[in-house]
């Protein structure tokens, strides 16, 4: 019985506070703005996009009969085209796994990434 009276008193108190005692929101008067008349402007001529010069692409193989030192992005080895500098494949490591993209020469029927466990 006491609990019921307490709950009813609580609801009555919330009702009185919400409708009579709480602070009212301040409503600001809208500001007067000057509106400019719309004038149709002639469309500007389309600008040509800036020409981007493409860098010449590095060759996949550079023939060399001996080691000439390290070359950025290349590996010196003997491969399908002979001894020389072959373009290095991008490698990405995730924790203890190294991910290497498949190349069409290695695996023509598979696509995607292969991973090998690094030790």
At 54-85, the pLDDT tens digits run: 777 788 888 888 888 888 888 888 888 889 98
Do 104 and 80 sit in the same domain of this protein?
Answer: no
Q: Report the C-alpha gap between 16 and 81 in whole angstroms.
A: 90
Residue whose entry in the numeric block shows the structure tokens 């509106």 = 35
Do 94 and 83 sit in the same domain of this protein?
Answer: no
Do 111 and 100 sit in the same domain of this protein?
Answer: yes
Reading the block at residue 84, the tokens are 């020389």
Residue 113 lies in a domain: yes
Residue 82 lies in a domain: yes
pTM over 0.75: no
Do 101 and 116 sit in the same domain of this protein?
Answer: yes
**Low-confidence spans in the chain with pLDDT less than 50:** 107-119
Residue 82's domain spans which residues? 59-87
């Amino acid at each position: 019985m006491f609990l019921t009276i307490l709950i009813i008193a609580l609801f009555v108190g919330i009702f009185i506070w919400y409708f009579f005692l709480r602070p009212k929101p301040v409503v600001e008067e809208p500001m007067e703005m000057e509106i400019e008349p719309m004038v149709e402007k002639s469309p500007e001529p389309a600008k040509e996009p800036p020409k981007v010069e493409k860098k010449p692409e590095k060759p996949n193989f550079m023939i060399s009969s001996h080691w000439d030192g390290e070359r950025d992005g290349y590996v010196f080895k003997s491969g399908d085209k002979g001894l020389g500098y072959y373009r290095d494949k991008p490698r990405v490591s995730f924790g203890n796994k190294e991910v290497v993209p498949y190349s069409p020469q290695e695996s023509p029927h598979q696509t995607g990434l292969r991973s090998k466990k690094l030790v």
